[in-house]
Amino acid sequence: MSGNASALSGNPSSGAKGVLLDAVDVSKSVQGPEGQLDILTAVSLQVREGESFAIVGASGSGKTTLLGLLAGLDTPSSGHIALDGNALERIDEEARADLRRRLVGFVFQSFHLLPALTAEENVMLPLELEGRDDARARAREALEAVELSARRRHYPAQLSGGEQQRVAIARAFVHSPRLLFADEPTGNLDQRTGQHVSDLLFSLNHDHRTTLILVTHDPKLAARCARQITLDSGRVVLAPRAPAVAP
Ligand SMILES: Nc1ncnc2c1ncn2[C@@H]1O[C@H](COP(=O)(O)OP(=O)(O)O)[C@@H](O)[C@H]1O
Ligand SMILES: [Mg+2]
């Protein structure tokens, strides 16, 4: 398969071929009540199209902040991030929003469904934002894929946590993004439900070659990803490595 071939060949640090996300020396500091707080320091990583990549680390180590930067939701204090070859620091917020809509899907720990909309309406939302007229049909297909067709008229409050997260996953992939970010997607779920939700995420990665960037503090979940880095106080303590590349 071409997916395996590209994952096993080449030097990850040279050339942009197949690199979907490239972060170089990314730092983020904020002004707190006690002066400057360095949340992230010189984080570099590269993720190739079709890969699964885990960001692990203790609570407060900077994982969510990093995800927000990589997705172009927030801007770094210094450093460089390119998403599909687009340097995020060189484009304005409108262009970043456009890039996110086309390229990116999100799954959050706390689901983030809109309570006043049904499951189906929640899933339709990204397509409606794109002005597509097949939103309802596509949303039904996506809900079918997460085995929730029977719940499509339910409101989030009428769904279990696992069901809400499956709706959120359907919403995240309904517009076929090339890159899916998931921030502790199983953090609020029991083990069995969490397993079902992570199986869904990895099946998107395997079956559709959707690049998956997963934040978790569950080592077992991280181990299902092809690569992982660990953050400790905003620094990478385990450098990302591509398989079959000599040190
Ligand atoms: N906007 C902010 N202002 C001040 N401190 C922040 C802000 N965002 C995050 N932090 C702090 O940065 C650290 C990392 O936060 P976060 O990225 O949420 O970590 P994680 O997701 O790994 O738990 C925490 O100490 C948090 O309190
Ligand atoms: Mg977090």
- pLDDT, tens digit, 9 for 90 and up, residues 132-167: 899 999 999 999 999 999 999 999 999 999 999 999
pLDDT (tens digit per residue) in 97-134? 999 989 999 999 999 999 999 999 999 998 998 888 99
Q: What is the pLDDT of residue 129?
A: 84
Residue at 129 is within a domain: no
Q: What is the pLDDT of residue 130?
A: 82
Q: What is the pLDDT of residue 179?
A: 97
Among the atoms of ligand 1, which is closest to the Cα of residue 58? 22
Q: Is 60 in the pocket of ligand 1 (CB under 6 A)?
A: yes
Q: What is the pLDDT of residue 239?
A: 52
Q: Closest residue (by CA) to atom 3 of ligand 1? A: 30
The proportion of the chain whose per-residue pLDDT surpasses 90, expressed as a percent, equals 84
Q: What is the pLDDT of residue 238?
A: 66
pLDDT class of 15 with cuts at 50, 70, 90: very low
Residue at 10 is within a domain: yes
Q: Closest residue (by CA) to atom 1 of ligand 1? A: 30
Q: Is 57 in the pocket of ligand 1 (CB under 6 A)?
A: yes
Quick check: 12 pLDDT over 60? no
**Higher-pLDDT residue of 8, 158:** 158
Q: Is 230 in the pocket of ligand 1 (CB under 6 A)?
A: no
Q: Is 56 in the pocket of ligand 1 (CB under 6 A)?
A: no
pLDDT (tens digit per residue) in 40-69? 999 999 999 999 999 999 999 999 999 999
Q: Closest residue (by CA) to atom 27 of ligand 1? A: 60
pLDDT class of 24 with cuts at 50, 70, 90: very high
Region 192-217: mean pLDDT is 94
User: Rounded to an integer, what is the distance from CA 133 to the centroid of its chain?
Assistant: 26
Residue at 98 is within a domain: yes
Residue at 66 is within a domain: yes
Q: What is the pLDDT of residue 184?
A: 95
Residue at 153 is within a domain: no
Q: How many domains does the chain have?
A: 1
Strand 19-32 and strand 35-48: the pairing is antiparallel
Residue at 14 is within a domain: yes
Burial of 69 (0-12, 13-18, 19+ CB in 10 A): buried
Neighbours of ion ligand 2 (CB under 5 A): 63-64
Q: What is the residue range of 79's domain?
A: 2-115+161-238
Q: Is 61 in the pocket of ligand 1 (CB under 6 A)?
A: yes
Task: Provide the mean pLDDT of the chain.
Answer: 90
pTM: 0.87
Q: Is 28 in the pocket of ligand 1 (CB under 6 A)?
A: no
pLDDT class of 28 with cuts at 50, 70, 90: very high
By the 8 A CB rule, do 173 and 142 touch? yes
CATH code for the domain of 176:
3.40.50.300
Ligand 1 site-directed mutation target among 43, 65, 66, 233, most atoms within 8 Å of CB: 65
Q: Is 185 in the pocket of ligand 1 (CB under 6 A)?
A: no
Residue at 144 is within a domain: no
Name the token pair of 41: 């320091």
Quick check: 180 pLDDT over 90? yes
Instruction: Report d(CA 82, CA 46) in Å as an integer.
Output: 10
Residue at 78 is within a domain: yes
Quick check: 4 pLDDT over 60? no
Among the atoms of ligand 1, which is closest to the Cα of residue 231? 22
